[in-house]
Amino acid sequence: MHTIFKKVSETAVTFSELMLPSTSNFNGKVHGGYILSLMDQIAFACASKHSGTYCVTASVDTVNFLNPIEVGELVTMKACINYVGNTSMVVGIRIDSENIQTGKIKHCNSSYFTMVARSQNGKSVPVPGLLLTSKNDVRRFTRSMQQKALAKQYKELTKNFKFDIIDAVQKLKDEKVKIDLL
């Protein structure tokens, strides 16, 4: 079977949007939920561009809100494929905001979404391989491999979790919590 490979740069997606008052919370900052919605859209666009088919969000692996986004700032989102499996892809997303009056740019968010390619009948389908052409591409791919391995270890560690109330209360005695079981 001949595998197709695509360069990271071939399927990268960038878009910008001016943040309007309708996207703000009571503190005048842009809602994190609105940003999450935009991230899901760009992850879909990037994964669909790489796979050549419809994709669905399997998981939001990491979302780090680093700096608030102000109303009136121009937000630029950049997404690229960091890792490919058989039918899944990890999409890395970077969000910067720019104060259009001062030109100051700040890094606001880094996120990783796992997307799965689907056929029209909803079945998972294989995705093209990834052609790594820079040290940064290799770094992102190996980082994603590490994250996947850690997630697998976590799943294994927690699959046989047994809850014991006495043990739990004992472990919580030094935490900032009050237990009032009726």
pLDDT in tens, 140-181: 999 999 999 998 999 998 988 888 898 888 889 889 998 888
Residue 2 has pLDDT above 60, yes or no: no
In a domain, residue 118? The reply is yes
In a domain, residue 152? The reply is no
In a domain, residue 169? The reply is no
Q: For the whole model, what pTM was predicted?
A: 0.89
In a domain, residue 19? The reply is yes
In a domain, residue 171? The reply is no
Order of strands, edge to edge, in the sheet holding 54-65? Answer: 13-18, 74-84, 88-98, 105-118, 54-65
How many domains is the chain built from? Answer: 1
In a domain, residue 66? The reply is yes
pLDDT in tens, 8-36: 999 999 999 999 999 999 888 999 999 99
Q: Who contacts 182 (Cβ-Cβ below 8 Å, separation ≥6)?
A: none
- Per the structure, the complete domain to which residue 76 belongs is given by 5-133
**Greatest alpha-carbon span in the chain:** 64
pLDDT in tens, 104-147: 999 999 999 999 999 999 999 999 999 999 999 999 999 999 99
Q: Domain containing 85 — which CATH number?
A: 3.10.129.10
Q: Which pLDDT does position 181 carry in this prediction?
A: 84
pLDDT in tens, 28-86: 899 999 999 999 999 999 999 999 999 999 999 889 999 999 999 999 999 999 999 99
In a domain, residue 156? The reply is no
In a domain, residue 162? The reply is no
Query: Are 50 and 89 spatial neighbours (Cβ–Cβ below 8 Å)?
Result: yes
